[in-house]
Amino acid sequence: MNRPYTIFTQTPPLLGGRKNGVKELLKELAVRILRTLEDNGYEAYFVGGCVRDWLLGRTVHDIDICTNAHPGDVMRLFPDHFPTGLQHGTVSVRLDGQMFEVTTYRVESTYEDYRRPTEVCFVSDLQLDLERRDFTINAMAMDRFDRLRDPFRGRDDLRDRLIRAVGVAERRFCEDALRLLRAVRFAAQLDFSIEPVTLAAMEKTAPLLSHIAAERIRDELHKIVDSAAPQKGIGLIVQTGLAGFSPLLDRLFRTSNEQAWRLVHLGTLNQKWALLMYAARFDPQEARTLCRQLRMSKREVEAIAQFVGLLASLRPDWDAPRDVEWGRLLLQAGWQVCMETDNLLQACWWKRKDGRSSRSLIAAYESMPVKSLRELAVTGRDLQAALERKPGGWIQRVLLHLLEQTALHGLPNTPEALVEEARREVARHEH
């Protein structure tokens, strides 16, 4: 079988006029690792995402290195190391406080659970190592002189803004089904298209995603929702049927994608998920159910469900701003939640947003003489003593009533006025 050809070229970034995004110190340290390996008779290259991002002029935060040196050789040459993944040939090398993953060239045998290789074999040929990788844009290597090893024309695909599987696309996805979502994620993050043969293979192998752990799926979905082109990513998930393993997730993406462009105007993942769920007309319980299916944390689950509930109560129409009464919401949810809810409203109204609700939120907050129970001039014990009643649920209910009356309706925040209003509230409740 003929292998794909290999070329070496000088490689300025594809995006002209921009500086290389690699932090110079980080790259200098990585070059020292390459030089040490080469001085001891080994090959060594930058590989994968750092090469891709360097060519695109994007900031590179992590540099991965591949080599024909075996893990034992790497550990011998770099005493300050951590054997983070010896079974896969990976040693983490620390240099001046920075960590670099150095991995031996390898090939992988058959896979189990559509995710993990059953056996890893170290090899001496860089090309064999690149052949096992997922997409052409991640299957490039670069030496310390910035010369590119690009057997699958990944640089051409970067120029053409394409995500293309290495080799036989269907085989790549059967080896590791998470690559299905990684393809979508790269398309959404880079605003690329997926090459037609690769896209067809994704549609065919989409059911395999059901074999992948929910935590892995969640992490990829977070990156898609938080990407530069979320509408493209969600559209690809719908087109390929990748959400078919979860009827609730499938419904979410199918019914919310028209509004997904608004996500780039929001600052947090919780807000972004909540807007999608509001667009899909989820109620808070459906929001909780889906978030739990995706193994989100309890804090994330409750925050997203709260935002969904607040949006459902406010019922904003798309691009139709209106006045909002913030008083009770401020007392119930607090300033931080209301501020984030206003961010959601601005995204809902983006095409015609006028800042009205933001101004009214600030005005409502500043006009409230008290903003929390601890600012009231009486405590629960004070009420219990003044009204000569036993402890019970009535105390919290009456305190909340006093807070609303004081904050919003002009009740003086004095012990006398609060105790008198508490008497009236208890009497109203008993009759």
Give the chain's mean pLDDT: 93
Number of structural domains (the chain) is: 3
Least confident interval from 18-27, 169-178, 256-265, 301-310? 18-27
Distance of alpha carbon 237 from its chain centroid, rounded? 16
pTM of the model: 0.89
Containing structural domain, residue 343: 327-367
Are the beta carbons of 129 and 106 closer than 8 angstroms? yes
Domain boundary among 319, 342, 367: 367
pLDDT tens-digit series, residues 411-424 = 999 999 999 999 99
pLDDT-based confidence at residue 22 (cuts at 50, 70, 90):
low
Query: Which residue in this structure is represented by tokens 């933001």?
Result: 358
417 inside domain:
yes
| pLDDT higher than 60, residue 376 | yes
What average pLDDT does the segment 75-90 reach? Answer: 93
Residues 362 and 398 in one domain: no
| pLDDT higher than 60, residue 137 | yes
Domain boundary among 317, 337, 367: 367
Classify burial at 244, counting beta carbons within 10 Å of its beta carbon; exposed 0-12, middle 13-18, buried 19 or more: middle
In this prediction, residue 64 carries a pLDDT of 96
397 inside domain:
yes
Largest CA distance in the chain: 93
Percent of the chain scored above 90 by pLDDT?
88
Residues 411 and 335 in one domain: no
What average pLDDT does the segment 223-250 reach? Answer: 97
114 inside domain:
yes
Residues 23 and 83 in one domain: yes
351 inside domain:
yes
Residues 356 and 382 in one domain: no
Residues 71 and 119 in one domain: yes
Residues 362 and 396 in one domain: no
pLDDT tens-digit series, residues 319-354 = 999 999 999 999 999 999 999 999 999 999 999 999
In this prediction, residue 14 carries a pLDDT of 53
Are the beta carbons of 173 and 166 closer than 8 angstroms? no
In this prediction, residue 119 carries a pLDDT of 79
317 inside domain:
no
147 inside domain:
yes
In this prediction, residue 194 carries a pLDDT of 99
| pLDDT higher than 60, residue 16 | no
pLDDT-based confidence at residue 431 (cuts at 50, 70, 90):
low
